[in-house]
Structure 1
Amino acid sequence: MKITGDDEEGKSQLQSFISPKEKYPTLVTTSKLLTTGVDCKTCEFIVIDSEINSMIEFKQILGRGTRIREDYGKMYFTLIDFRDVSRLFADKDFDGEPVKVKETDTSTIPNEDDEEFDDTTEGDSNFYPEPGDDNSGDASFINDPFGEDNGVSKYYLDDVEVRIINRRAHYYGADGKLIVESLEDYSKKNIRKEFSTLDQFIRTWSETDKKDEIRRHFEDEGIFLEDLIDDVGKDMDVFDLVCHIAYDMPVLTRKERANNVKKRNYFGKYNEKARVVLDKLLDKYANEGIENIQDINVLTLPEFKEVGSKLEIVKKIFGGKKEYEQAIKELVQELYTIA
């Protein structure tokens, strides 16, 4: 719906658009609505398709998205920029002059005239990307960092399939300056801060029983590996993605890892029904990832019912919970025997 000053029907729906309780209108096109202080607290997407050079106007628009409503699940917003207006994030006027902080003895009151403050940071002159620079902020889509998409996504524009040719990460350095670099370079640099060598990462991976803990650890450190899966275009898990992105190792998909296990005579020590269960778990891993096969509740899914119930599989087929967990631990180790 169009909501502009000269559209009476649109203006009559403004309160419905603002209200979190109203479902419609959901999508609104406007010219200056977001610069007027309109209180749309659940605005989740802001799409810019006009030239904006005013810092004040840009900040007013961003302010509509930064409102939080936890009770409605509004914790962030996504900016889609078709006009490179997001370059203003890197403008020195975006945050204004830095606050001057001087540590002093609490018993004395500092006098700013006593000494000069140096507001510059070493390397400051090259910190802001210049137009045409390889590090310039040419990303037109600032993506949701908390996305939960798994697998490879396809994108369509007017029913025509399109692909993403470049992603860039925008983040602030320790000195508060905006840094722009490719998502892959950003991830590689930060992964190697955590694990300086491939051997160090493999050792940590092997020693961690629940592999999902490693993925969550990366997320806590601001490294969202799922966002890289689309770029790589392969069905790989966290282990192979990290090895490939951070240490330039060849890509191995989950399916390839599962097939490697099936080719070896690993299942020979188990009874027939146990082999069927392990084979189904490998298929589950190939399709969905390591986290699912490490969850004992996977045995309640329909594909396992033909073998038996969860209790029957654990107690009768594997001999108990301890034995089942040991079998899963060995299966995971076997999956990553070939790194």
Structure 2
Amino acid sequence: MGNILSESDTRANYIDPKLVDSQWEPIHIVREYYFTDGRKLLGNKRGKRLFIDYLLKYNNANLAIVEAKKLDDHPTKGLQQALEYAEKLDINFVYATNGVRIYEFDRRTGKGDYIDNFPTPKELYDRLFGKTNQLKEQLHNIHFLLTGNFGPRYYQEIAVNKTMESIADGQDRILLTLATGTGKTFIAFQIVHKLLQAKWNLDGNDRRPRILFLADRNVLADQAINTFNPYENDVIKIDGEEVRKRNGVVPTNAYIFFAIYQAIADREDIGGYYSKYPSDFFDLVIIDECHRGSANEEGSWRAILDHFSPAIHLGMTATPKRDDNVDTYQYFGKPIYEYSLKEGIQDGFLTPYKVKRVTTNIDEYIHTNDSRIIQGEVTKDRYEIKDYNKSITINQRTDLEARTILEHIGKMDKTIVFCANQDHALDLRDYINKHKTVSDPNYCVRVTSDEGKHGRELLEMFQDNDRDIPVILTSSKMLTTGVDARNVRNIVLTAPIGSMVEFKQIIGRGTRVFDGKDFFTIIDFVGATNLFYDTAWDGEAEEIEEGGTGGEPKPKEPKEPKVDDPREPYERKEKLIVELSNGRRLKVTDVDTRYIDENGRPLTAREFLEKLIGELPGIYTDVEQLRSIWANPDSRSDLLIKLADLGFDREQLNDLRNMIATPDCDIFDVLAHISFSSELMTRKQRVEFVKGDPQVFEVYKNLKAKEFLEFILKHYEKFGIEELRRDKLGDLVTLKLGTPKDAKNAFGNMDVLLGAYYKLQQQIYQVS
């Protein structure tokens, strides 16, 4: 009988009873636990979602994976994949079973063996966490506070639980590194919720903890306050307005305190508000985007952190360890959990992207007397990209940028343009508004700290996914971190970027997932995407050397990315402004489209081609099979869908054609050439062959019928295979013949017309 038992029969009749015998109740078991969304593919499709047969939980902690096999399979047949998933889910115990034998693997020791019965939930929990740690058990026991009908993503659950465990273990400096767009504020909220519910605090008294949430932008603090809405009665924001309301006394009557560090730090005229609090006032300080100077000895936040040194400090950052944020990692230590951009894209929680690197014939400027100096003086022989809009402005170049941006984005695609400074953001806004085709005055707006409240209102409108306008934001540094706008389709870089840290932040503005958004595009005028070629692009952060001898060189001080801080007005230096001579024609010389592979690494056109060649033979075996698939509109449509599932959509196929042939070629010829080294032909050549065969037209007695077929050929030659789709036939009839009745008169009946349409396509592709 064993032979015919399926895997689901084995689970129901053998594995489930064994779990029940070991006290695993339905509340502890999640069957077919899907934990990823599947990588986003083109055409609003997704790759495979990852799942495990059984997830075993106890006390809200994920304890074990059970990999089930059929009764007559070897019990450890699926063990390797289960171990990979366990590593991803940060689960220690893995069981593999065919219902008769049970194999247990402990990832901490790296060893496994057969066991007679599953351990009980309590036994497993105690093996993992020890019997003595009551605080851990208490913190695990508190459920997430969820609004709406969605649960936490697997990595959010891991980040929260690891933080709880670190606090329970007495760790006082904790770091979480999670890519932008993965919900760090949601994680912070669940951490705070659990600590408040548990009445955890550092002095062990019966009270709720006091928690300070530090951000470096008002817009980030306000976004976080919205997330903490369920606790709105326990929340207060520390700022000048609040302190003035209280006659100069800082607020103390809350549990969750929000502040931007500029508002509470020392300033020239007054001491910082933070020093008005006793140093042991807060139990926990959460530092959002903590790479932005919190740990730097001279950084703006360091004095605040030093003052509250008795508190636990939890840093949250989106950037793995790099030369320019090494001090953050020295201050907090190694992250207790990391979730990278690469993982986010592979799991389908973040949107993949492609890069368009734009070069122009004015990427450098050497002054000659043909050009007119409008302001300032020439101080260099040669000005490079990094000088533009900082020490030199050429308005015609800004105008070219504006026109190129509008050409390369969908008219209503939400777009953020990062500029060199606030003046450049104004200039670019004005040139975009000069060339735009949409009349709304707010189509393109500048959002920098100079706009103050009005700028924040425009930003909120941009973030609102139900509003079309504004479409384009120009900014300098204000939007580099944390601003959550899910439907951003384009990120435009028109100024060099100071560091890998800042680059990763900017890219994070586009990675958020939105329905119908298959990927986003980075349009790069300045070569900033060369930062992709970082040896550790989302790889493992290097270990921090502990101790060491006194003679070790001190790490070089990182360059802190400049923040648009409302208290520091943008300093306008006298710039050189040049108008080029009338004879100088500015143009884009190249747009190099780069696709990004599943590891977050950009592919050159050649690598992309090799990837494509590697995938294609699985879909068709020889040129004749490809020809017969392609010659029929229905099977061709299916093939194009399969190609899109592999990541090769219409736009990519067109890019491929332009790379190895010419836009005048048929995609069929491009695929046949790549796969089988066939000769390339143009659509014009194919049409001429068909026209040269009298048999094609002689079949039809009616002159209008012959003219209609010639009309289709002309359309195909001009516009390509789009004009040969089955659903295009109605439009073609309307364009050439008029009504369905006219078509019937020409061909006798509609079946003959459809047959002629399909037969014509066979003849187009018959030629080789």
- TM-score (structure 2 length as normaliser): 0.32
Q: How far is the alpha carbon of 1:171 from its aligned partner?
A: 0.6
Q: Is 1:187 paired with 2:612?
A: yes
Q: Retained in 2: the 8 A contact 1:13–1:25?
A: yes
| Distance in structure 1 (CA, Å) of the matches to 2:518 and 2:596 | 19
In the alignment, what sits opposite 2:686?
Answer: 257
**Per-residue CA distance 1:123-147 (angstroms, 9 max, x = gap):** xxxxxxxxxxxxxxxxxxxxxxxxx
| Greater share of strand | 2
Q: Retained in 2: the 8 A contact 1:212–1:291?
A: no
| Distance in structure 2 (CA, Å) of the matches to 1:20 and 1:159 | 39
In the alignment, what sits opposite 2:639?
Answer: 214
- Residue 82 of structure 1, aligned match among 499, 521, 525: 525
Q: Is 1:303 paired with 2:736?
A: yes
| Distance in structure 1 (CA, Å) of the matches to 2:499 and 2:639 | 43
In the alignment, what sits opposite 2:750?
Answer: 321
In the alignment, what sits opposite 2:655?
Answer: 227
| Distance in structure 1 (CA, Å) of the matches to 2:475 and 2:600 | 32
In the alignment, what sits opposite 2:626?
Answer: 201
Q: Secondary structure at the match of 2:479?
A: helix
Q: Is 1:4 paired with 2:437?
A: no
Amino acid corresponding to residue 239 of structure 1 in structure 2: F
Q: Is 1:168 paired with 2:598?
A: no
**Per-residue CA distance 1:285-322 (angstroms, 9 max, x = gap):** 222334534443135423222xxx323423x4333333
Structure 2 vs 1, CA of residues 66 and 46 (structure 1 numbering), >3 Å: closer, same or farther?
same
| Distance in structure 1 (CA, Å) of the matches to 2:469 and 2:634 | 47
Structure 2 vs 1, CA of residues 260 and 167 (structure 1 numbering), >3 Å: closer, same or farther?
same
Structure 2 vs 1, CA of residues 38 and 291 (structure 1 numbering), >3 Å: closer, same or farther?
closer
Q: How do residues 1-339 of structure 1 correspond to structure 2 at under 5 angstroms? A: 1-8=445-452, 10=455, 13-52=458-497, 54-70=499-515, 74-91=517-534, 93-97=536-540, 160-164=586-590, 166-172=592-598, 176=599, 178=601, 180-182=603-605, 183-195=608-620, 197-206=622-631, 209-224=634-649, 225-231=653-659, 232-266=661-695, 267-273=697-703, 274-293=705-724, 294-295=726-727, 296-305=729-738, 309-314=739-744, 316-339=745-768
Q: Retained in 2: the 8 A contact 1:284–1:292?
A: yes
Q: Retained in 2: the 8 A contact 1:65–1:77?
A: yes
Q: Retained in 1: the 8 A contact 2:481–2:509?
A: no
| Distance in structure 1 (CA, Å) of the matches to 2:691 and 2:662 | 24
Amino acid corresponding to residue 181 of structure 1 in structure 2: T
| Distance in structure 2 (CA, Å) of the matches to 1:215 and 1:230 | 18
Q: How far is the alpha carbon of 1:79 from its aligned partner?
A: 1.0
Amino acid corresponding to residue 596 of structure 2 in structure 1: H
Amino acid corresponding to residue 655 of structure 2 in structure 1: D
Q: Percent same amino acid among aligned pairs?
A: 30
Structure 2 vs 1, CA of residues 68 and 5 (structure 1 numbering), >3 Å: closer, same or farther?
same
Cα RMSD of the aligned pairs, angstroms, is 3.4
Structure 2 vs 1, CA of residues 219 and 280 (structure 1 numbering), >3 Å: closer, same or farther?
same
**Per-residue CA distance 1:244-286 (angstroms, 9 max, x = gap):** 4444433322232122211111212220332222222222222
Q: Secondary structure at the match of 2:590?
A: coil
| Distance in structure 2 (CA, Å) of the matches to 1:289 and 1:51 | 39
| Distance in structure 2 (CA, Å) of the matches to 1:280 and 1:302 | 10
Amino acid corresponding to residue 509 of structure 2 in structure 1: R
Q: Secondary structure at the match of 2:502?
A: helix
Amino acid corresponding to residue 178 of structure 1 in structure 2: R
**Per-residue CA distance 1:217-260 (angstroms, 9 max, x = gap):** 22222123123344443323321232244444333222321222
Q: Retained in 2: the 8 A contact 1:240–1:252?
A: yes
| Distance in structure 1 (CA, Å) of the matches to 2:586 and 2:721 | 34
Amino acid corresponding to residue 654 of structure 2 in structure 1: E
| Distance in structure 2 (CA, Å) of the matches to 1:49 and 1:297 | 45
Q: How far is the alpha carbon of 1:6 from its aligned partner?
A: 4.3
Q: Secondary structure at the match of 1:164?
A: strand
Q: How far is the alpha carbon of 1:196 from its aligned partner?
A: 5.3
Structure 2 vs 1, CA of residues 14 and 332 (structure 1 numbering), >3 Å: closer, same or farther?
closer
In the alignment, what sits opposite 2:79?
Answer: none
Aligned length: 271
Q: Retained in 2: the 8 A contact 1:210–1:291?
A: no
Q: How far is the alpha carbon of 1:332 from its aligned partner?
A: 1.4
Structure 2 vs 1, CA of residues 53 and 197 (structure 1 numbering), >3 Å: closer, same or farther?
farther
- TM-score (structure 1 length as normaliser): 0.66
Q: Secondary structure at the match of 1:45?
A: strand
